[in-house]
Structure 1
Amino acid sequence: MTKQVIICVDDEKTVLRSLKAELQEAMGNEYPIEIAQGGEEALELIGDLLKEDYEIPLIICDHIMPDMKGDELLKRVHFVSPKTLKIMLTGQADLEAVGKAIKYAKLYRYIAKPWQAEDLRLTVKEAVNSYLQEKKLAQQNTQLQILNQELEQSFAALEASHAQMKVLNQTLSESESRLAQFLDAIPVGVFVVDASGKPYYTNQTGQQILGRGIVESATTEQLRQTYQVYLAGSEQLYPKERDPIVNALQGKSMRVDDMEIHRADKIIPIETFGTPIYDESGNITYAIAAFTNITKRKQAEKLLAQYNRTLEARVEERTQELSQALENLQATQ
């Protein structure tokens, strides 16, 4: 587990001792509390801690110190540890100092001295929880990026399969047996109907996704009901006018990603590409559809949407808190 520490900075030893005691009482033994008497000592301490792979969830510092003002210290802390949350604790800060701390150091909160013990305790706990939540969201974002990379590789494989289908279009009439062996080897579902719309062939991957093989008695009108093809997120059979197979029989190539196969035990979202197959005379002899299971992509999109909503809410909440702090400060000037 990563080592974490909270830092307190003030030029007065009595204030530091009091602050450390209150934080230890609030946080217990969960977080060590380090103290520094002035800005330069604080920067040296932070440098040493970072070299030892410590995380610094929170730093609390005074504004008026002989060697370095609090807003300048927080600005320099932000440069070396941007994820650390910053609280400025002082009885002498002005609007300019708070504004600089917000702009250059992303100040988390401003607390006037003398502070109220309960207010300090709640603020520190809230800040640490906020740090941990943002860290968790960042880890989830990294996982989503990895998943997106995997999905992009899957999409590239699908595009490669589509390119292979062009080759198949040229060789289908020459060797149906050879074609069937090739189609069974690719990791993409393939479904073929003849010129009249009757099911002709599906490969092994297609059978695994659809949950069944060829139903020779099914007509074009019955295909969606036979194979339980629905519009994504609904109980409505997929519209005929958007069906890639139907369009392919009319000479149109089409790709859709809002199809679902409703199985008895699960629902499988699929992306489908349909295209016509022509003979030497230019007549449509078959319609072929390539489809792939996009369950992982849909899950990634859902997680990414949830992450974005959470992040937007936190940004809005933080903005409101800082605006209120500035308003309160202005009211006291």
Structure 2
Amino acid sequence: MNELAILLVDDEPMVLESLSEELQRNFGQNYDIEAAESGEEALEILGELQAEGIEVAVVISDQLMPGIKGDELLSQIHLQYPDILKVMLTGQAGVDAVGNAVNSANLYRYITKPWDTTDLNLTIKEALSKYLRVKQLERQNAQLRENERRLTQFLEAMPIGVSVHDVTGKLTYANQKAKELLKLDVLPDAQIEKLSDTFKIYQVETKQLYPSEQLPIVRSLAGETLHCEDIEIHHPDRIIPIEISTTPIRDETGRISQAIAAFQDISDRKQAEDEREKYTRELFELNEALSRFVPRQFLQSLARKSISEIQLGECVQKQMSVLFSDIRAFTTLSEQMTPKDTFKFINGYLRRMEPAIIENGGFIDKYIGDEIMALFEGSADSAVNAAVT
């Protein structure tokens, strides 16, 4: 049994048999040929075929029949099964009946009796071809709608904002996240020159509106693909730093028809970067302060990069020269100065001594009041040179 059928309706058995044989010969391989001797029987057959999952593609009906006339039958079929193509085949139908069938049943064709076999077969062939094209288009449209539904569902579920703009810059689509970031209830009708002002887009860490012609979405409408993080969205209650990527969308001819933007709030990332930068700066300052008590050269002599790598009791044995240097009569001098002047005097002395020690390959191990203890690896000459420099 085929999945498609042709239904013939005529109250004259001989006409019905002749018509069935003709169509069976030409279309029976791909279509079931069903016959009914009245309008009432035709409607019953349609219901049965529908229940069995068989589609009727074409109905060919006589006009003058007992009970339901042909135009009335085709009108009822049209109401229940609008996709079926209807053909009226009669030699006695009046103009009014044909007109009624055309208007209320969307009549496909009117064929007079006796019919021309070639014309009949060509008419049915064209009707079947049209039916199949319509059905294919319906399936394609249904698949397209399903694809659009799935795409919309996917875009709406995305944790980043997605927006689409046409060539004039008008926002034609924004998913839920984009509406949240932009605080939109309805899509505004803004053109390119008004985009920054409409959506409150500013240059990062400024109070300057982002130049509309430089907006990533506008540049993508000109053909560029961009990624940037120099944009902020300003709302009365908060400022949102944005990471955005945009790309042009081209039609089948290669011309740009739209541009799409994907953007997200990077406030948390910015905060984390600021905290990391602050932590790095504090760590550097701590290391600098620590180096005044545990010189980096001391760690290097132990083959260590950090003081945290040194274990309790760890040591190495090396031959080194030690330089002790202090200020002669410092006690007497300091008693004649204020504390502030004393510190300035000592610091001035240390600023002169440290470069001399470092230039000769040594490092300061510790400060003892006005005294410096410096260490030199290898020959004692380096310590002597530092002392007399």
1:146 Cα offset (Å): 1.5
- Residue 244 of structure 2 corresponds to residue 290 of structure 1: yes
- Structure 2 match to 1:64: 64
One-letter code of the match for 1:65?
M
1:22 Cα offset (Å): 1.1
Cα shift readout 1:263-293 (whole Å, capped 9, x = no counterpart): xxxxxxx999995467xxx9x9x98562466
> Does the 8 Å CA contact 1:7/1:56 hold for their aligned counterparts?
yes
Structure 1's 7 and 195: CA in aligned 2 closer, same or farther, altered over 3 A?
same
Structure 1's 141 and 277: CA in aligned 2 closer, same or farther, altered over 3 A?
closer
- Structure 2 match to 1:112: 112
Structure 1 CA distance, aligned partners of 2:45 and 2:65? 17
- Residue 215 of structure 2 corresponds to residue 244 of structure 1: yes
One-letter code of the match for 1:21?
E
- Structure 2 match to 1:330: none
> Does the 8 Å CA contact 1:11/1:65 hold for their aligned counterparts?
yes
State the structure with bigger RCO (CA 8 A, min sep 6), 1 or 2: 1
> Does the 8 Å CA contact 2:9/2:42 hold for their aligned counterparts?
yes
Cα shift readout 1:239-283 (whole Å, capped 9, x = no counterpart): x964414xxxxxxxx778746457xxxxxxx999995467xxx9x
- Residue 116 of structure 2 corresponds to residue 162 of structure 1: no
Structure 2 CA distance, aligned partners of 1:151 and 1:271? 23
SS at match of 2:56: strand
1:155 Cα offset (Å): 5.0
- Structure 2 match to 1:93: 93
Structure 2 CA distance, aligned partners of 1:19 and 1:272? 73
> Does the 8 Å CA contact 1:255/1:274 hold for their aligned counterparts?
no
- Structure 1 match to 2:127: 127
> Does the 8 Å CA contact 2:212/2:218 hold for their aligned counterparts?
no
SS at match of 1:30: coil
1:162 Cα offset (Å): 3.3
1:69 Cα offset (Å): 0.9
- Structure 1 match to 2:142: 142
Cα shift readout 1:157-198 (whole Å, capped 9, x = no counterpart): 42444357579xxxxxxxxxxxxxxxxxxxxxxxx99789xx
SS at match of 1:110: strand
Structure 2 CA distance, aligned partners of 1:162 and 1:30? 52
* Larger helix fraction of residues: 1
Structure 1 CA distance, aligned partners of 2:7 and 2:227? 52
For the pair shown, the structure with the greater C-alpha radius of gyration is 2
SS at match of 1:133: helix
Structure 1 CA distance, aligned partners of 2:42 and 2:20? 15
How is 1:294-333 mapped onto 2 (pairs within 5 angstroms)? none
One-letter code of the match for 1:136?
Q
One-letter code of the match for 2:26?
A
Q: Where does structure 1 lack aligned partners over 5 or more consecutive residues?
A: 168-191, 197-239, 246-253, 263-269, 300-333
Structure 1 CA distance, aligned partners of 2:228 and 2:126? 48
Structure 1 CA distance, aligned partners of 2:90 and 2:56? 21
TM-score (ref. length: structure 2): 0.47
Structure 2 CA distance, aligned partners of 1:273 and 1:244? 11
SS at match of 1:33: strand
Structure 1's 67 and 163: CA in aligned 2 closer, same or farther, altered over 3 A?
closer
1:48 Cα offset (Å): 1.4
1:118 Cα offset (Å): 0.3
Q: Where does structure 2 lack aligned partners over 5 or more consecutive residues?
A: 163-174, 184-201, 253-389
- Structure 2 match to 1:40: 40
Structure 1 CA distance, aligned partners of 2:73 and 2:205? 76
Structure 2 CA distance, aligned partners of 1:97 and 1:148? 44
> Does the 8 Å CA contact 1:244/1:274 hold for their aligned counterparts?
no
Structure 2 CA distance, aligned partners of 1:123 and 1:23? 11
One-letter code of the match for 1:162?
A
Structure 1's 110 and 287: CA in aligned 2 closer, same or farther, altered over 3 A?
same
- Structure 2 match to 1:228: none
1:80 Cα offset (Å): 2.4
Structure 1 CA distance, aligned partners of 2:75 and 2:24? 26
What is the number of equivalent residue pairs in this alignment? 213
% identity of equivalent residues: 39
> Does the 8 Å CA contact 2:63/2:93 hold for their aligned counterparts?
yes
One-letter code of the match for 2:72?
E
- Aligned-residue RMSD, C-alpha: 4.1
Structure 1's 64 and 244: CA in aligned 2 closer, same or farther, altered over 3 A?
same
